Structure 1
Amino acid sequence: MAHNSKDSQEKVVYVGDSRVRKSGRMPNIPPDYSAFPGKSEAFIPNFLLKEWMVGVVVLVGFLVLTISHPAPLGYPADPTNTSFIPMPDWYFLFLYQFLKYPYVSGDYVVLGTVGVPLIMFGALLCAPFLDRGKERRFYRRPIASTLMFLSLISCVYLTYVAWDHYQHQLEVNGIVPEHIKREEEARLAAERGEERPNPVKREDKKIAVVDANDPITSVIQQNCLSCHGTDYQGQSSIPPLAGVGDKYSKEELAEIVTNGKGTMMPPFGGQLSAEEIDQIAEWLAKQKKAE
């Protein structure tokens, strides 16, 4: 009860009604988060929703990368092919390069394959229990922020080094990755108006060998067929001798036989005479596909 007199000293008391809902914000959401940074935000739904949105953005970005740069299908594993260059998918390149270093390979391979990954993932799992500070600004959390930036920089650097070294090996060995060959074959087929070649269903058409009874074939069998296949059709990533005349001239073939090509084709200039190399180049130049 309140009096209308201005001189009254009685205290005015307002009596509430429990049947009337309290207006305004929900009780678990403070009016202003900036008043108590890191202490007043409700976990559900505010914090959980933001974390979910960040996770969705990262997942979408990762999917875009894997779709735009899919893992190419390389050559099948061949234990007899010493020129084969193993290469993992791009998202494992940093670990692939890391395992090349001497202190995590060889006698210490267990440390590199089990020990270091166990420490890294164990630290990640224990991070919420070890770093329990309420500060949310990254520049106020030097230890956690430094470890995060060092890990990110290490992954990017190791990935770059691994890919650069792989490209260098391809160039030195004269190897064209199979997925690049498939793209080129598909492009040429489209230009000619032909059906796109299917790498899964390859037609097994052997190219006929021209003048197989030439005396020089005995020298070729002793020096060349262990790599190029006993039927002259090649094997794995090593090209066939049958049909090689469509790609190279006699002079080019003599140069390759004499000085080699990359690391896959060794030089035979010190093992064969100039006359034998000339006869081999002449015989190889005859090896053309039948029209």
Structure 2
Amino acid sequence: MAHGNDSKEKVVYVGDSRIIKRNHPNIPSDYSAYPGKSEAFIPNFLLKEWMVGAVVLVGFLFLVIAHPSPLGYPADPSNTAFIPMPDWYFLFMYQLLKYDYLAGDYVVLGTVVIPGIAFTALMLVPFLDTVKERRFYKRPIPSTLMLLFLAACVYLTWVSWDHYTHEMEAKGLIPEHIERAEKLAEGKEVPKSGGQEDEAVAIVDKDAEGFSIYKQSTCVTCHANDLTGTPNFAPTLRGIGDKYTKEEIVKIMKEGTENGNMAAQWDDNIAQKGLTDEQLDGLAEWLASQKAEVE
């Protein structure tokens, strides 16, 4: 180290206190020369996308936990009243296949050709629409196709749902997932597959003549051979004697139910099944004996 102001004096450094100057300022790169770019894709842009995706995923998980997927009853092929419906995002395709020119002999057109054309067009958009203009009104062809596709999806979805709700109202039915949710909320037991509401209720007097008459009647069509009924269509007849007397059952067989869910069956059984009034009277008596607890 130096002493005094003598310029010829030898200078000895103790350690190296010199700091190397860095010529790398913390200024982001300029992407103004690249249209549409403002930052590096990796890692700047990609990191932000991952963060947004993580937030959306957490929100989606909370939504799934708060609102479980609505479920109907277990599948039952014997339930002829059930109206199958796809998820809402497939309703437009479901409605499309209802039209005569896209169903029946032309079903391949509605299931393969049209969806194939739409999917192929979507895949080819980046190659066909190479215009650098970003404003939609400056790109008439792709913008028009997009608006027509959205309008068709919205219209077909609305028509499909409107037709479904009117069909349910006309038949006096409640969608299975809604009925199931209402019964669960009320603390009631949800019917199981085949309409069996209470496995503990057995058929009373299976060897009686009334059971053989029942198997010959039109009742079997809706209420099944084992009296378990059909979910959301025909109730179980096991334990029916706890709800109705013989006279009330005869009245239902002759006049149908008050809510219109069941039409009169007395005359049909005589005309179509060849049963007599005496046999139907015996059937009503046998049904009235079907009780959960036999006295």
Aligned-residue offset at 1:135: 1.4
Give the residue type in structure 1 aligned to 2:293: A
Aligned-residue offset at 1:89: 2.2
Which deviations, in whole Å up to 9, do the C-alpha atoms of 1:58-111 show, x marking residues without a partner? 888987887747252444141x44333222222222211111111111111111
Indicate the SS of the match to 2:186.
helix
The range that moved more, 62-71 or 116-125, is 62-71
2:234 is aligned with 1:234:
no
Give the residue type in structure 2 aligned to 1:232: L
State how far apart, in whole Å, the 1-side matches of 2:121 and 2:136 are: 18
State how far apart, in whole Å, the 2-side matches of 1:45 and 1:158 are: 39
Indicate the SS of the match to 1:270.
helix
Matches within 5 A, 1:83-162: 83-162=81-160
**Contact 2:223–2:230 (8 Å) recurs in 1:** yes
Matches within 5 A, 1:1-291: 20=23, 26-29=29-32, 39=35, 41-42=37-38, 44-45=40-41, 52=49, 56=53, 68=67, 70-78=69-77, 80-189=78-187, 205-210=199-204, 217-223=211-217, 224-235=219-230, 238-247=234-243, 253-254=249-250, 256-260=252-256, 265-271=262-268, 272=270, 280-281=283-284, 283-290=286-293
Which deviations, in whole Å up to 9, do the C-alpha atoms of 1:101-125 show, x marking residues without a partner? 1111111111111101110011111
Aligned-residue offset at 1:174: 3.9
Give the residue type in structure 1 aligned to 2:71: P
Indicate the SS of the match to 2:112.
helix
Q: 1:242 to 1:124 in 2, by over 3 A?
A: same
Indicate the SS of the match to 1:70.
coil
**Contact 1:206–1:233 (8 Å) recurs in 2:** no
Give the residue type in structure 2 aligned to 1:70: S
The range that moved more, 87-96 or 238-247, is 238-247
State how far apart, in whole Å, the 2-side matches of 1:218 and 1:24 are: 92
Q: 1:258 to 1:155 in 2, by over 3 A?
A: farther
Give the residue type in structure 2 aligned to 1:257: M
CA radius of gyration, larger in:
2
Indicate the SS of the match to 1:85.
coil
Q: 1:178 to 1:23 in 2, by over 3 A?
A: closer
Give the residue type in structure 2 aligned to 1:139: Y
Aligned-residue offset at 1:275: 7.4
Q: TM-score, normalised by structure 2?
A: 0.66
Indicate the SS of the match to 2:85.
coil
Q: List gaps (5 residues or longer) in structure 2.
A: 1-21, 271-275
Which deviations, in whole Å up to 9, do the C-alpha atoms of 1:153-178 show, x marking residues without a partner? 22222222222322333333344444
Q: 1:144 to 1:110 in 2, by over 3 A?
A: same
Aligned-residue offset at 1:148: 1.8
Q: What RMSD, in angstroms, separates the aligned Cα atoms of the two structures?
A: 4.4
State how far apart, in whole Å, the 2-side matches of 1:102 and 1:282 are: 49
